[in-house]
Each structure stands twice: as structure tokens, then as C-alpha cells.
Amino acid sequence: MFRGSIVALVTPFNEDLSVDFEAYGRLIDFHLEHGTDGIVPCGCTGEAATLAPDEQKRIIKFAVERIEGKVPVIAGTGSNNTAEALDFTAYAKDVGADGALMISPYYNKPTREGLIAHYKTIAEKVDIPIMLYNVPSRTGIKMDPDTIAELFQIPNIVSVKEACGSVDQVSQIRSLCGINVMSGDDSLTLPMMSVGASGVVSVAANVVPEKVAAMCDEFDNRNLEAAQAIHYELTPLFKALFVQTNPLPVKAVLAQMGLIKNVLRLPLTPLPADKLEEIQPVLEKVGIGRAVAAG
């Protein structure tokens, strides 16, 4: 269903904190030109938690229209409110998204039964391919492999973005069912692919799209040594992009590349200058270097 390098796209803002659609279009074009296999608007990296509902819908619609079917659009439609997640997911289908990425409800900490009921309610009402998003560091709960395998019995729940930080989790999932697995941790993409994952929903692809895509392609083409070489080259970058909370570092780097303005919505604040300076050697080593910041 989903394969390769799917970028968890940032949401660029203007200085007045409005969505910068001009920059958003520029980012989409950048990915279409550099080999990204799919695009996720309005995920965690896209600061969905601080988007108003109408903004989130406008961004999803804009992405679908700009991409024009060239690569899949997997819209971030999750919420800790099942009714809101249902509304976002129905909207994503109506405007032509190819799938929906749905984070497990955060803060509420639902039981296993609540998780299943949440996803089942939406999947049964909206006929769109759904990618579960298992990220306990953000939600406070972890979907165990048995729960994922049970949800996979619902026909349009086809994929899971695994961000537990565990290759063993992927092994257990794949031993129980045939659900499509996408890595949610850049540094674990290659290890996860070795046990059955199909690619990554990537933060790093925001800044090195061609390299992340190439790593996935080399593995798919059974060129393990080439895939390993890219993995080792990018490993310092994977760590640098989490020197502080995502998406602070990646937005600072994109601003340095001249693609966006380095603006975030509170409670997030821009990466401190000393932290950006700290990761400069890593950026230069992968070919990013220093550029004039946008804006």
C-alpha cells in the first residue's frame, strides 16, 4: 500500500502566524522534484496540534490540489476527540486524499477497548485507507501488536506508522498479521525494513529527501551495502534533528536552506542559535551547509 520515503511535512508560518501557503507550495514542489514517495500534511511534524480545524482542512486540500496525484497524500486527521477525527477524515476523503494518518488519542489515555472503538468508528464510516500512528512518546499510550493485528481485520485499516523506537515491536506485528508497517523513527528505518517495514514517514526527508528515498530504494532493490552506506551517512543527521523537540530543529534547517521562515506557534519556540550552530558540522557533512535564511 505505502512504500518508500513519505515525508512528514512541516507547516510553514508567516511572521503573523498565518499559514504560509506560498512556502507550503514551494516545499511540496521541492519533494516532487527530489524523489519523495508520499507526503503527509498535518502530522505531528506539521504542528497539527496548534492548527485550527479550518486551517487543517485548507492545508489538506491545498496539498491534494498541488500534488495532483503525482505521489500519495496521507492526510493527518487524528485527534483525541473521535468526532473531530471522523470529521477530518471524512473531509480528507472528500477532497481526494489517498489515505489518512491517525494518531492514537492523546491525553485521554483510552483502554485497548477504547482504542479499537475509536479507530473502528472512523474506519467504518469513512472508506479511505487508514494508517495507524503508534507514538507513545506523544500520546502516553502504546498500541501493542495484538491490538494492531485486531485493527488490521478492518478492511481499510491497512498500515501503521511505528514510532515506539523498537524493531522488536515491528517483528511482533509482522509475526501476527500482514499490515503494512512504516517506520516512524528515521534512525530505525533500515533496521525496521530488514524485518518487514516498507519504508518511513520521515522527518529527515524534509531536508534530504533524495537521500532518504535513495536509502529505501536501495534496500528494495536488494542493494544492502548501498542502503547501509546512506543509513550511516545520515545517522548523525537523524540525531541532530532531535537535538530539541521536533519540529524545532527541522524548521530551523529549512529556514537556513531558504525554503521557509523559522516561525513556530506557541508553546513551541524556535531552535536557539547555539543549538543550530552545534549541528552545523552535521548539516555540512550531508551537503546542506549554510544558506541565506528565508524572510
Q: Is the distance from CB of 4 to CB of 201 less than 8 angstroms?
A: no
Of all residues in the chain, what percent carry a pLDDT higher than 90?
Answer: 97
| pLDDT tens, position by position, 155-194 | 999 999 999 999 999 999 999 999 999 999 999 999 999 9
Alpha helices in 34-81, H assignment, sequence order: 53-67
User: Would you state the pLDDT for residue 294?
Assistant: 39
What is the band of 290 on the pLDDT scale with cuts at 50, 70, 90? Answer: low
Type of residue numbered 185: D
The reported pLDDT for the residue numbered 1 is 74
| pLDDT for position 100 | 98
Q: Catalytic pick from 24, 133, 211, 261?
A: 133
Q: Is the pLDDT of residue 104 over 60?
A: yes
pLDDT bin (cut points 50, 70, 90) of residue 249 is very high
Q: How confident is the model at residue 295 (pLDDT cuts 50, 70, 90)?
A: very low
Q: What pLDDT, on the 0 to 100 scale, is given for residue 145?
A: 98
Mean pLDDT of all residues belonging to the chain: 96
Average pLDDT value for residue range 104-131: 97
Please state which of the four CATH numbers 3.20.20.70, 3.40.309.10, 3.90.700.10, 3.40.50.720 is assigned to the domain occupying 4-222: 3.20.20.70
Rounded to whole angstroms, the Cα distance separating 145 from 290 reads 43
Q: Report domain extents, the chain.
A: 4-222
What is the percent of the chain where pLDDT is above 70? 98
- Asked if residue 293 has pLDDT above 50, the reply is no
Neighbours of 286 (CB within 10 A): 16
Distance CA 271, CA 14 (A): 17
Contact status, residue 63 vs residue 89, Cβ threshold 8 Å:
no
pLDDT of 234 over the 50 cut: yes
Q: Which of 61, 93, 161, 251 is catalytic?
A: 161
pLDDT surpassing 50 at residue 292: no
120 carries an active-site annotation: no
Q: Is the pLDDT of residue 149 over 70?
A: yes
| 224 CB neighbour count, 10 Å cutoff | 12
Decide if pLDDT at 116 tops 80. yes
CB 148 within 8 A of CB 112: no
46-56 tens-digit pLDDT: 999 999 999 99
Strand segments, DSSP code E, in 145-292 are: 157-162, 180-183, 199-202
161 given a catalytic annotation: yes
- The pLDDT of 93-105, averaged and rounded, is 98
Give the mean pLDDT of 58-77.
98
